[in-house]
């Protein structure tokens, strides 16, 4: 089976740039999209429905902002929208789908702190609350993927210029420590598990030709509980997909 996580930075824009064609060629079983910036009523779903996907949504209350959506090819056992904390659920940040094959997939779009101190404090509060929520979900689902845009580059391998960015949101010591603690709490970084020396990135600024020069950050993850991690067989950053300032993360498992 194959799962894709992709911050599309606007689903309507990504579809105009050929997202459906890329999905048709890639043929993932599960697709987790972040930063969809739309509601179901805003999007022409025909290209996705033609590929056999059913789509589940958690848009933000604010129009054109944030939001996540998960596409599956078979009806799930259960869908949970949100995490039960209003401040986060209003921003459309969490969506869990319990697949008919038994695995659960938690699609998450973590906050960014790049716009200033208020949002950085919001992000720190989120990280504390999400750790507890992730552990709660793992206690319910032994086979759990937690995937999405974490907005954190974990180590110096995960960012092109760690020295220049040591004080940048997304690479702050507190954020990196949180990521270490999250992984130590029982979650495996699928890409790093299979590529311990890999230096692939998943996000590039639109400025200064950063993508062409590969000046990027790896802030998008597919993580898995131990029972699933043992079944992982492939992981990659699908850099050929250019529908966003991010690229998809792709993981396959037995």
Q: Would you write out the chain's pLDDT as a tens digit for each of its 254 residues?
A: 999 999 999 999 999 999 999 999 999 999 999 999 999 999 999 999 999 999 999 999 999 999 999 999 999 999 999 999 999 999 999 999 999 999 999 999 999 999 999 999 999 999 999 999 999 999 999 999 999 999 999 999 999 999 999 999 999 999 999 999 999 999 999 999 999 999 999 999 999 899 999 999 999 999 999 999 999 999 999 999 999 999 999 999 99
Q: What is the pLDDT of residue 21?
A: 98
Instruction: Please identify which of the residues 29, 149, 158, 245 carries the catalytic annotation.
Output: 149
Q: CATH for 2-253, among 3.90.550.10, 2.60.40.350, 3.30.465.10, 3.60.10.10?
A: 3.60.10.10
User: How far is it, in rounded angstroms, from Cα 67 to Cα 94?
Assistant: 8
Residue of 109, 141, 182, 221 marked active site: 109
Q: Active site includes 149? A: yes
Residue 94 has a pLDDT of 98
Helix (H) or strand (E) holding 146: strand 144-149
State the virtual CA torsion across 85, 172, 181, 105 in degrees, nearest 10.
50
Q: Residue 180 has what pLDDT? A: 98
| Overall pTM surpassing 0.95 (yes/no) | yes
Q: Where are the domains of the chain?
A: 2-253
The secondary structure of the chain in percent helix, strand, coil, rounded to multiples of 5, reads 30, 25, 45
Whole-number pLDDT of residue 110:
98
Q: Is 221 a catalytic residue?
A: no
Non-local CB neighbours of 14 within 8 Å, separated by 6+ positions: 6, 8, 243, 244
């Amino acid at each position: 089976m194959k799962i894709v996580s992709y911050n599309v930075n606007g689903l309507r824009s990504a579809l105009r740039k050929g997202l459906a064609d890329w999905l048709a060629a890639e043929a993932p079983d599960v697709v987790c999209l972040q930063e969809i910036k739309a509601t179901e009523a805003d999007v022409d779903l025909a290209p996705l429905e033609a590929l056999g996907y059913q789509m589940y949504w958690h848009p933000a209350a604010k129009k054109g902002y944030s939001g996540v959506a998960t596409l599956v090819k078979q009806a799930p056992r259960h869908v949970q929208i949100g995490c039960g904390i209003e401040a986060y659920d209003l921003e459309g940040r969490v969506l869990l789908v319990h697949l008919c094959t038994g695995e659960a997939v938690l699609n998450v779009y973590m906050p960014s702190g790049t716009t200033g101190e208020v949002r950085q404090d919001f992000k720190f509060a989120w990280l504390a609350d999400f750790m507890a929520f992730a552990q709660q979900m793992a206690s319910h689902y032994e086979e759990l993927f937690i995937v999405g845009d974490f907005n954190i580059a974990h180590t110096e391998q995960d960012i092109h210029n760690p020295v220049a960015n040591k004080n940048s949101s997304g690479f702050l010591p507190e954020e990196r420590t949180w990521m270490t603690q999250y992984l130590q709490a029982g979650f495996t970084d699928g890409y790093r598990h299979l590529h311990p020396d890999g230096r692939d990135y998943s996000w590039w600024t639109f400025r200064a030709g950063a993508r062409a020069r590969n000046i990027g950050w790896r802030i998008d993850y597919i993580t898995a509980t131990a029972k699933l991690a043992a079944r992982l067989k492939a992981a990659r950053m699908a850099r050929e997909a250019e529908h966003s300032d991010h690229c998809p993360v792709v993981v396959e498992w037995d």
